[in-house]
Amino acid sequence: MATLTSIPLANTSPGDLRRMQLAWLAAAVFVVSAGYGALMPLLPGWLRPLMTDNDPTSVSRHVGYLSGIYTAGVLVGAPLWGLLSDRFGRARVLLLGLLGYVASLVSLLQPTWAGVIGIYALRGATGFFVAAVVPMVPALVAEHTPPSARARRFAWLGAMSLLGFLFGPGLNAAADRLARLAAFGGGPAWSPAPLVIGLSAALGALMMLGLVLTLPSAPSSKVSEQPERDREVGGQSATLWLINGAVMFVLAGFELGIVLQGEQHPELSSRDISLMFAECSLVMLAINALLFFTGLLERADPRRVMGAGMVLAAAGLGMLARHANEAWMYLGVSFTAAGTGIVLPTVSYLAATSARHRLGVAMGGLAAAAGLGQTLGSAAMGWLFGAIAQDSFAWLALPLLVILAAVLIRSGWWPARLAPPPQSPSSTSTEFTP
C-alpha cells in the first residue's frame, strides 16, 4: 500500500510535471482509495434485503466474498492494463479506468435491481477498473519525473493513498449527517448509501475532467537496444513483485489480526482497535513524510532501507505476539506499520527504474502482487488465528525473514538502482544513477 504529466516546475526539465498535473494525479489515487474505504461498510446493508435468510453469519460470509471478488478484479486487471498502457499509452488507460470506476459505482445506486449476483459483478468490475488507475499513476509520474524528484513524489503518492483510506469512513459519516439534517428539516428521508455512492462517483468524474485537461502528451518511445539491460530490469521487477506481495501479505494479516485479537481479548475494546488502526495509518503517513521531506531514498542504498524496514516490521510482529499488555500492542503496531511503511514506497521507487517500454508491466505487476498478497494474507490469518490465538502474529514475520535470509545468501537477487543506459550528449537521462 501507491505518474503522469509534464509541465516544468522551476528548474526542472521540459518533460517534468507541473504542480497542477501532479496534484490531479495524486488526487486520483486519493479518490479511488477513499471510494474503497467508503463503500465497504455499505455492503451488509445492500445484501440483507436481497437475501432470503437474514442470517448475520451468511451476510458476513458474503461481505468477505465481495471483498475477495474486488481483489480478484485487481489481480486480473492490473497486468492486463499494464500491457495495454505500454502499447497504447498510460493516459488513455488511466482515463478508461476512471470511466469504468464511475460507471460501476453509479450502477450500485439501485442494488435491488442488480441483485446479489449483480453486486458481485459490479464489485469485481470496480476492482478491475481501479487496477487501471492505481498502477498507472505511479507509472506516469515515473515517466515524467527527473530522478532527483522521483523519490519525493512517490512518497507523496503513498501519503495520498493512505489519506484516502482514512477519508473513506469520513465520507460515510458526512453522508449520514446530511441524511439526518434533511430529515430534521422536514424533507424526505434519505438513505446515506446513495449519497456515499453519488459522492464517490462525482469525485471520480471530477478526476476524469481534471486529468483530461492536464495530462501531458506521451513521450517518444523507442525500442530498447540493450537486451542485456532489459533482462536485468526484468529480473529486478520479478524480485520487486515478490517483495511487494510478501509485505502486503504481512500487512493484510496484521490488520485482520488486530480485529480478531479484539474478539479474543475482552480487555481490548472497539475503541482500542480503532485507535490501533488510526495509529497504523498515522505512523505510515509519518514515514511517507520522512521520505518526502528528507529525500532519503535518493541518498541511501535502497537495499539497506528495505532491510531496515523488514527488521522493524518483524520486531513489531514479535511484540504483538508477546501481548504482555496494551502498551506492547501499541508499540508492536507502531513498529510493524513503520517497517511496512518503509518497504512499500521503496519498492515502488525501485520499480520506476524499469525501461519506459516496460514501465506499465512493472507497475501492473506490483499492483497484482499486492492484491494477491492481501487476499492470501487475510485468508491465512482468518484460518490460523483460531488455532494459535495471539501467537499468530509471530508467524507473519516468517515471509520477511525468508526474504532477508535469501538476500544475505544471494545478494544478486536484491533489487538496486540501475545505472542509466549510455546516451548521446544531447539526450537527457531519466534513469537512476548509482
Torsion sign (Cα): 37, 38, 39, 44: positive
Give the end of a domain, one of 216, 241, 273: 216
Predicted local distance difference test score (pLDDT) of residue 327: 78
In a domain, 425, yes or no: no
Quote the number of domains for the chain.
2
Predicted local distance difference test score (pLDDT) of residue 432: 28
pLDDT 10s digits, 4-47? 333 233 333 445 788 898 899 999 999 998 888 788 777 777 77
Predicted local distance difference test score (pLDDT) of residue 227: 45
pLDDT 10s digits, 139-164? 888 888 887 777 778 878 888 888 88
Q: Are residues 25 and 173 in the same domain?
A: yes
> Which comes out higher in pLDDT, residue 274 or 201?
201
Mean pLDDT of 209-225: 68
Residues 139 and 3 sit within 8 Å (Cβ to Cβ): yes
Residue of 152, 82, 132 lying closest to 349 (CA atoms): 152
Residue of 381, 384, 399, 299 lying closest to 346 (CA atoms): 299
Q: Are residues 212 and 325 in the same domain?
A: no
Q: How far, in Å, CA of 298 to CA of 149, rounded?
A: 9
Predicted local distance difference test score (pLDDT) of residue 428: 34
Residue of 155, 398, 121, 393 lying closest to 289 (CA atoms): 155
* Candidate ranges 57-66, 117-126, 425-434; pick with highest mean pLDDT: 117-126
> Which comes out higher in pLDDT, residue 357 or 101?
101
Q: Are residues 186 and 141 in the same domain?
A: yes
Q: Are residues 171 and 281 in the same domain?
A: no
Predicted local distance difference test score (pLDDT) of residue 427: 36
Residues 414 and 232 sit within 8 Å (Cβ to Cβ): no
Q: How far, in Å, CA of 94 to CA of 89, rounded?
A: 9
Q: How far, in Å, CA of 135 to CA of 363, rounded?
A: 5
Place 1 in a pLDDT band, splitting at 50, 70 and 90.
Answer: very low
In a domain, 428, yes or no: no
Q: How far, in Å, CA of 66 to CA of 81, rounded?
A: 22
Q: How far, in Å, CA of 155 to CA of 349, rounded?
A: 9
Which run of H or E residues covers position 124?
Answer: helix 111-130
Q: Are residues 212 and 315 in the same domain?
A: no
Residue of 276, 266, 13 lying closest to 146 (CA atoms): 13
Q: Are residues 102 and 187 in the same domain?
A: yes
Domain that holds residue 300: 228-419
CB proximity list for 417: less than 8 A, separation 6 or greater? 302, 350, 353, 432, 433, 434
Residues 98 and 211 sit within 8 Å (Cβ to Cβ): yes
CATH number where 15 lies: 1.20.1250.20
Predicted local distance difference test score (pLDDT) of residue 337: 92
Q: Are residues 240 and 207 in the same domain?
A: no
Percent of the chain residues topping a pLDDT of 90: 16
For residue 294, what is its C-alpha cell? 528528507
Q: Are residues 179 and 125 in the same domain?
A: yes
- The helix-helix angle for 136-143 and 326-351 (nearest 10°) equals 50
Q: Are residues 201 and 116 in the same domain?
A: yes
Per-position DSSP letters for 369-423, written without gaps between them: HHHHHHHHHHHHHHHHHHHHGGGHHHHTHHHHHHHHHHHHH-GGGS--PPPPPP-
CB proximity list for 108: less than 8 A, separation 6 or greater? 39, 46, 114, 119, 122, 197
In a domain, 147, yes or no: yes
In a domain, 66, yes or no: yes
Predicted local distance difference test score (pLDDT) of residue 208: 93
> Which comes out higher in pLDDT, residue 271 or 244?
244
Give the end of a domain, one of 185, 216, 247: 216
User: How many of the other CB atoms lie within 10 Å of CB of 52?
Assistant: 6
Give the end of a domain, one of 160, 181, 216: 216
Q: Are residues 148 and 258 in the same domain?
A: no
> Which comes out higher in pLDDT, residue 87 or 206?
206
Predicted local distance difference test score (pLDDT) of residue 184: 65
Torsion sign (Cα): 102, 122, 83, 423: positive
In a domain, 132, yes or no: yes
